[in-house]
Homo-oligomer: A and B are copies of this chain.
Amino acid sequence: MITMEEAEIRSNIIKAMGHPVRLMMIDVLKDGTRSFSEIFSLFTLDKSTVSKHLLVLKEAGIVTSQKTGADMIYRLEVPCVTDFFGCVTAVIENNVRRQQVCLCKR
């Protein structure tokens, strides 16, 4: 079994992905780098809120940023995180299936 320390390190990375806004950010960045203003324009959130979400992703090591001219460019550092979305979809589909079973039983 994994140790508690190992589990804590892992959970920090997973926790960073566990917010709808940050998931959408990752989803957008999987197609290539994006500037702050591009990412900001996707949401109806304060710029400080967007900045802080990106900071969470950065601190987890999921994205990196680089100042380029006047813009801050964000990059998905570990694209494999998006592979996980397929499994999440499997969980969702399994949930739907089980719900249907429950409905049939009634």
**A91 contacts partner chain B, Cβ-Cβ < 8 Å:** yes
A24-B7 in contact (CB<8A): yes
Interface size class of A (residues with CB under 8 A): 35 or more
Residue of B nearest to A97 (CB): B61
With A84-B87, A87-B84, A91-B62 as known contacts, state yes or no: A14 contacts B23, CB within 8 Å. Answer: yes
The one of B13, B23, B94 that contacts A10, using a Cβ cutoff of 8 Å: B23
A42-B1 in contact (CB<8A): yes
Residues of A70-99 whose CB lies within 8 A of B: 77-78, 80-81, 83-92, 94-95, 98
The interface of chain A, by Cβ under 8 A from chain B, is 1-2, 4, 7-11, 13-15, 17-24, 27-28, 42, 60-62, 77-78, 80-81, 83-92, 94-95, 98
